[in-house]
Structure 1
Amino acid sequence: MRCTLSTFNEVWQRQFRLSVLKQLNLFQEDTQYLIGCSGGMDSMLLLHLMSQIFPEKIRAIYVNHQLQQVSDDWAKFVLAQCHQLNIPCVVQPVQVMHGNLENQAREARYQAFQQHLKPNEILVLAHHQQDQAETLMLRLLSGAGVQGLSAMKQIDQRDALTIWRPLLDTSREQICQWTSQLDIAYVDDPTNADPHYDRAWCRQELWHILQSRYPKMQQAVARTSYLMQDADEILQDVLKQDLDVCGNSQYLNLAQFQQLSRARQRQLLSAWMKGQDTYRPPFEMVQRIQDEVIDSKPDAQAALHWNGYYYVRYQQVLYRLDQAIYLAEKNIQNVKPQQIQFNLNQFLDLESGQFQVNMTKMGLSFALLGQSLTLSRRIGGEKIHLYGRVGSWPLKKAIQEAQIFPWMRHTIQILSIDNVMLGVFTPKGFWLAQSAYCEVGGWQPNLVSQL
């Protein structure tokens, strides 16, 4: 005898509704729910269950990856089912980039979700216990650490995106049973059985072998993910403390860093390199930065490139530099000297920063204001007689003594008139040069901020 919705209520109120209501304590009362619906069995069951609990608070989204000829038909199916349940639904076509198809499709899907989420909505997905176990297994085979083996969280907060997976503790068998009892229509994606894809291979080839030996393997693996989530939460607390001691998202103080145990160094370095990205760097890359940059000889100009950043050691500090910043000097063409004029209170945006022309106790002659002065790059070998110091000395030595970062030295510019050096613009400010143009109560460009 087929189970009707009214008799089914007695089943899922105990197994699903109670679980859902417990999780709802973490949400605001006015929260709305956007359900990611692919048309498959899992998401169609979720759609029906959520329509019973929150008939006025839900809407659905179907992301059309346009990878199969039947994708448009599936979109029409989802729209028809939502119409029947009186649920608003949007269909969003996406273009999947080249590369790993599974990863790129997932990336396109989440971008579509974020595009349609409203400020008071959370994203609801139909991932279940077997999905969780498969995720952990695949990550284990790829060499993931604690964070990777945490797999999926039931309630996952990612910046402005909150994901809720109310079926995560529900077995695939239970979902099949409920779907059959309620006579819920769904579509069957043939790629789910294509072992060319990692997840389908895991499901079709690996799963039955493991379950034949370990019948409760799926529950055990899923439980491991929760234990890993606890371990990861503890690890994140330790990492935050270590980062507070050693630096911030831009640099690590190696004197402090090297006081940590080797394991904590490795974990901190991995998390620091990850930054705001989704995934941590490969273990091999973390080890290379440790060996080739941090542990290199003190006088080595060590740098390593990974994922759009350069990791550079300077003065016992490890810096994480955007590729464009690190390579800026190499991309500079031969630039001819330029003519520039100064006026009081004027703001100047130069390569080394933003400067403002102000009166000062000792500075340049007011006779130079409004005149055409020359601004040029250093070419090497220049000497500077800094005001207030005895004698001239190499500009290079002054730059080194000021500890101006090597990757910022190309921004240094020399100000002169008739081949007389007036001063030097640097990321540390304007250096006034001793000359016949210095006078008491003159003017000087003062650094306002670095650009």
Structure 2
Amino acid sequence: MSLHARLLAGLAPWRAAPAWHIALSGGLDSTVLLHLLASLGHTEHLPPLHAIHIHHGLQAAADGWPAHCQRLCDGLGVPLQIISVQVAPVASVERAAREARYQAFTQVVGEGEVLLTAQHRDDQAETLLFRLLRGAGVRGLAGIPASRPLGRGMVIRPLLECSREQLLAYAVEHGLSWVEDPTNADPSYARNHLRHQVFPQFAAHWPQAAQTLARSAAHLREAQGLLDDLAALDLAPAQSQSPFSWLRLPSLALQPLLDLSPERQRNALRHWLAPLTLLPDSEHWAGWTDLRDAASDAKPIWRLAQGELHREGGRLWWLSGDWLRAPRQPPSWLETTEALHLAANGQLRFQGEAPQGPLQVRYRQGGEVLNIPGRGHRDLKRLLNEHAIPAFVRARLPLLFRDDELLAVANLPAIRGPAEVHWQLQWQAPTNDQRLS
């Protein structure tokens, strides 16, 4: 099957997408993908085609790549968008560059649109071997997925069944020019060592090494799919409605998970946590064991890369984003007919006509007392205990005062003082949104 025919077959499910975007580095692989699609555009009815070049600014050689990509796109009649990104100075520059790149892609790709990237079969084989040497589990060894969600759209890798040799032959046949990244020859990078030192030796003894490793990755993706199906079955009983749905936090009932074997607990949690955070390696799953086995009156926390898992009230709660930032003192609420925006803590509004002022919103300091009709003066801490309010909520739960009199606690109409009864204080709590790609 020709590259054109293979590409068309692989992209058939996305022919009706509003637009196709090509991630164009200017290297061999993405140059071939761009040329293939531009050529097909002359004979096939395809979605509008655009190219995106991400300039990382990490090396002097890369400064000329945007101009090269512009000439290439101009020659093929494909619009090009050049985006410069800042790469965080961290230990793994490769990972930081990838994260910056995909954050930029996420901003560009619109609803239902597709980002096309040019990874091929040799990349798949390298990925499998690289992750195997790092001790990855089934999910990691499943390799590069052919498609996955990306923001409001999808990222598709239509060349995964093609070898680099095939792409090189196509480029030579059509007289294409491309840039070479000098860092690709640097043996200090683990992937380069595999590509230039290890794989040539593999190929000398096993000429089909890349193909067979890619096939193994496909088997592992199938196995991961079965594990995901099992996780969905195991999670279903745990996904009961939280008694505090207004918190808008991902949560699970704990007991259904405790009824599973440790292996199925980890599998279910991996599946649940995967969209929320980078997952820990096997050695760091001890954090789950500690959280699970803590004393019944404890409130343990398992800290992960992008957030925290809390155990409280017989549930697991995922906190990230604003939930990990201390809320600042609320501003004055001058226009009570409008919502009051709380720094790192959502917003507050009245349902009904607000009580007479002057009104202030504060957070707990300790020692607050509320005069409840029929019950007298009650300590706020005990009232929150009665309603089983999770500990991680209490320091950010908005309190309404008139002068120094506590009138009400947001979202808890049962905890209010003797003021007028024709209003309620509604708090829209912050979400976990931390802009994960």
Deviation at 1:296, TM superposition (A): 0.5
* Equivalence for 1:10: none
* Equivalence for 2:132: 140
Q: What is the 5 A alignment of 1:222-261?
A: 222-247=214-239, 250-261=250-261
Deviation at 1:219, TM superposition (A): 1.0
For 2:381 and 2:120, the matched residues in 1 are separated by 63
For 1:388 and 1:342, the matched residues in 2 are separated by 32
For 2:297 and 2:152, the matched residues in 1 are separated by 44
1:226 partner letter: A
Deviation at 1:70, TM superposition (A): 2.8
Q: Which moved more, 1:109-118 or 1:291-300?
A: 109-118
Q: In the alignment, is residue 23 of structure 1 matched against residue 10 of structure 2?
A: yes
Q: Which moved more, 1:71-80 or 1:199-208?
A: 71-80
Q: In the alignment, is residue 431 of structure 1 matched against residue 431 of structure 2?
A: no
* Equivalence for 2:390: 405
* Equivalence for 2:421: 443
Q: Report Cα offsets for 1:169-196 as digits up to 9, x if no partner.
A: 1112222333333333222222111112
The 3 A distance-change label for structure 1 pair 82 and 319 is: closer
SS at match of 1:35: strand
Contact 1:130 1:171 in 2 (8 A): yes
Q: In the alignment, is residue 282 of structure 1 matched against residue 284 of structure 2?
A: no
Deviation at 1:74, TM superposition (A): 3.0
Contact 2:351 2:426 in 1 (8 A): yes
The 3 A distance-change label for structure 1 pair 373 and 198 is: closer
The 3 A distance-change label for structure 1 pair 233 and 388 is: same
SS at match of 1:96: coil
Q: In the alignment, is residue 54 of structure 1 matched against residue 41 of structure 2?
A: yes
Structure showing greater radius of gyration is 1
Q: In the alignment, is residue 83 of structure 1 matched against residue 74 of structure 2?
A: yes
Deviation at 1:424, TM superposition (A): 4.6
Deviation at 1:237, TM superposition (A): 2.8
Contact 1:60 1:90 in 2 (8 A): yes
2:385 partner letter: Q
Q: In the alignment, is residue 186 of structure 1 matched against residue 178 of structure 2?
A: yes
* Equivalence for 1:325: 323
SS at match of 1:310: strand
Q: What is the 5 A alignment of 1:117-266?
A: 117=109, 121-247=113-239, 250-266=250-266
1:254 partner letter: L
For 1:324 and 1:112, the matched residues in 2 are separated by 22
- Higher relative contact order structure (alpha carbons within 8 Å, sequence separation ≥ 6): 2
Q: What is the aligned-residue identity percentage?
A: 30
For 1:234 and 1:384, the matched residues in 2 are separated by 54
For 2:176 and 2:356, the matched residues in 1 are separated by 81
* Equivalence for 1:72: 63
Deviation at 1:341, TM superposition (A): 11
Q: Report Cα offsets for 1:111-132 as digits up to 9, x if no partner.
A: 3434444556422222111011
The 3 A distance-change label for structure 1 pair 371 and 222 is: closer
2:381 partner letter: K
Contact 2:339 2:348 in 1 (8 A): no
Deviation at 1:342, TM superposition (A): 12
Q: Report Cα offsets for 1:1-53 as digits up to 9, x if no partner.
A: xxxxxxxxxxxxx3323322322331234654322222222222223322221
**TM-score (norm. length: structure 2):** 0.79
For 1:63 and 1:371, the matched residues in 2 are separated by 54
Contact 1:245 1:256 in 2 (8 A): yes
- Residue-pair matches, total: 412
The 3 A distance-change label for structure 1 pair 327 and 150 is: same
Deviation at 1:260, TM superposition (A): 1.9
SS at match of 2:140: helix
SS at match of 1:443: coil
The 3 A distance-change label for structure 1 pair 197 and 449 is: same
Deviation at 1:244, TM superposition (A): 3.0
For 1:35 and 1:354, the matched residues in 2 are separated by 45
Deviation at 1:401, TM superposition (A): 1.8
Contact 2:235 2:268 in 1 (8 A): yes
Q: What is the 5 A alignment of 1:355-374?
A: 355-356=350-351, 370=356
For 2:97 and 2:23, the matched residues in 1 are separated by 14
Contact 1:341 1:371 in 2 (8 A): no
SS at match of 2:308: strand
The 3 A distance-change label for structure 1 pair 298 and 327 is: farther
Contact 1:294 1:318 in 2 (8 A): no
* Equivalence for 1:38: 25
For 1:357 and 1:78, the matched residues in 2 are separated by 59
The 3 A distance-change label for structure 1 pair 353 and 430 is: farther
Deviation at 1:383, TM superposition (A): 6.4
SS at match of 2:144: coil
Contact 2:33 2:118 in 1 (8 A): yes
SS at match of 1:301: coil
* Equivalence for 2:245: none
The 3 A distance-change label for structure 1 pair 60 and 450 is: closer
Higher strand share: 1
For 1:88 and 1:234, the matched residues in 2 are separated by 41
Contact 2:383 2:415 in 1 (8 A): no
Deviation at 1:314, TM superposition (A): 1.4
Match of 1:387 among 367, 373, 395: 373
2:49 partner letter: I
The 3 A distance-change label for structure 1 pair 399 and 63 is: closer
